[in-house]
Amino acid sequence: MHRRSFLKGAGIVTILVAGGAVWRAEDQGVFSVGQGPAYQPWRDWQTDASAGPLALVRAGILAASPHNTQPWLFRVSNSSIELYADTKRNTGALDPYLREQHISLGCALENLMLAAGASGYSASVSLLPGKLEPSPANQPQLVARVELAPGARQKNELYDVIPLRHTNRNPYDPKRAIPPDVAGALAGLVTDEPNVKLFLFEADSDRKKIAGIISTANNVLYADPEVQHGSERWIRTKWSSVQKYRDGLTIDAAGLPPTTAAIAKFVPLSVLRWMVSEKEDPYLKLLLTPPMFGVIAVRDRYDQEQSLRAGRIWQRAHLLATARQLAARPANEAVEMVDHERKLGREPQHAKLLAELTGDATWHPTFTFYMGYAIRQAPASPRRAVQDVVF
């Protein structure tokens, strides 16, 4: 039975809510997943062959970002593209040093560079040095410059799957291991990055340990009202908000079962939390399903250039997973706790836990993710249009 038919049969097409207001399922996007202007960039990214350097920006805006904040701005000419951090588009206390924001800028840069080669450009990139600070500037900050010259078109499997890469928050199949050739390809992604290292964990004992660390960190973080506020400002529960802002976390992409997701579009955020709550930690239960965890580490967690490079590796890894029919998702709460403890002047407990995990304290974990075969495909997230990010 089709999802739409089932929901109509279940009486969800029209719901009577408190106060006598009637909301229709069509108005809440129940039957419009992945549709509307907010999702058009995923379909239009290759439509204009004469776009020149703007074609590279079309690819760049489809990159990953924390809470789908899309904190990038671009300045484009015929021979170069400058990438800026829009520091106003941040998650507040969840990312006090804008470390994750800079990782996402590295993701956008990776997509842009892949598109440059596929579009017949010879591209060279310069990353601006700097230290990540807790007080962001009030104006866009230049982080990278890409110089463009004519070159040969390059085929690349990672470029081809840019519009197919989506964060998958569904449960994974714990019985399906990552193929050895994929694990080997992932390990090879950092061979040209001396200040970036990738740790992979597949043993049951390691995965359970990592899941416990991340789950505990998540519970502590979101008990802080400031962290919760910084996160919730990016949650879009109304279909009209999804189409208006074209960013943030949506119900469709939350990893809920289809029927639960449909019902969730009609209820407040507090009720939604109650709907998905369980006696056992639901996030821990989810974290125990993927067959592989990965940790991207750098020499200095708060070095701007190294954060950008780490972001390029994460985007590359997620694209590689997509090309091999695998799903992936960030699970970075343990590193966010490192930031949290540092900002509050507390004992660096989570930095020590992560060092014990990797076995080498000279490498600073900055991004943690998991990978595997998800039980459902992930939908696209909303995206701002090119004209909204070019200045």
Q: For 245-284, how does the pLDDT look when each residue is reduced to its tens digit (9 = 90+)?
A: 999 999 999 998 988 888 888 777 666 666 666 557 899 9
Vertex 62: Cα angle to 177 and 180 (nearest 5): 20
Sign, CA torsion 252/258/264/270: negative
Give the pLDDT confidence score for residue 275 in this predicted structure: 61
Q: Which residues pair with 110 in a beta bridge?
A: none
CA gap 327, 353 in Å, rounded: 26
Q: List, as one string, the DSSP characters of 123-170.
A: EEEEEPP-B--SS--SS-EEEEEEEEEE------HHHHTGGG-----S
Average pLDDT estimate for 187-205: 97
Average pLDDT estimate for 290-304: 98
Q: With cut-offs at 50, 70 and 90, classify the pLDDT of residue 34.
A: confident
CA gap 125, 206 in Å, rounded: 37
CA gap 336, 95 in Å, rounded: 7
Task: State the CATH class of domain 42-163+382-388.
Answer: alpha beta
Domain ranges across the chain: 1-31, 42-163+382-388
Average pLDDT estimate for 289-313: 98
Share of the chain above pLDDT 70, in %: 88
Q: For 303-353, how does the pLDDT look when each residue is reduced to its tens digit (9 = 90+)?
A: 999 999 999 999 999 999 999 999 999 999 999 999 999 999 999 999 999
Give the pLDDT confidence score for residue 263 in this predicted structure: 83
Which of 61-65, 274-278, 296-300, 367-371 has the lowest average pLDDT? 274-278
Phi first, then psi: what are they for 53, rounded to 5°? -60, -25
- Quick check: 66 and 58 in contact, CB under 8 A? no
How far CA 294 is from CA of 98, 225, 304, 354, in Å, comes to 21, 29, 21, 12
Counting other chains too, the contacts that 262-269 makes at CB distance below 8 Å and 24 or more residues apart are 262/3, 262/7, 262/12, 262/25, 262/30, 263/12, 264/237, 265/25, 265/28, 265/29, 265/30, 265/237, 265/238, 265/239, 266/15, 266/17, 266/23, 266/28, 268/237, 269/232, 269/235, 269/237
Give the pLDDT confidence score for residue 264 in this predicted structure: 81
pTM as predicted = 0.92
Average pLDDT estimate for 35-54: 90
How far CA 320 is from CA of 275, 315, 331, in Å, comes to 34, 8, 18
Q: Which residues pair with 123 in a beta bridge?
A: 148
How far CA 21 is from CA of 217, 261, 270, 321, in Å, comes to 40, 20, 19, 45
Closest CA to 66 of 361, 353, 365, 335: 335
- CA torsion angle for 280, 282, 283, 289 (degrees, to 10)? 100
Q: Is the pLDDT of residue 151 over 60?
A: yes
Q: For 122-132, how does the pLDDT look when each residue is reduced to its tens digit (9 = 90+)?
A: 999 999 999 99
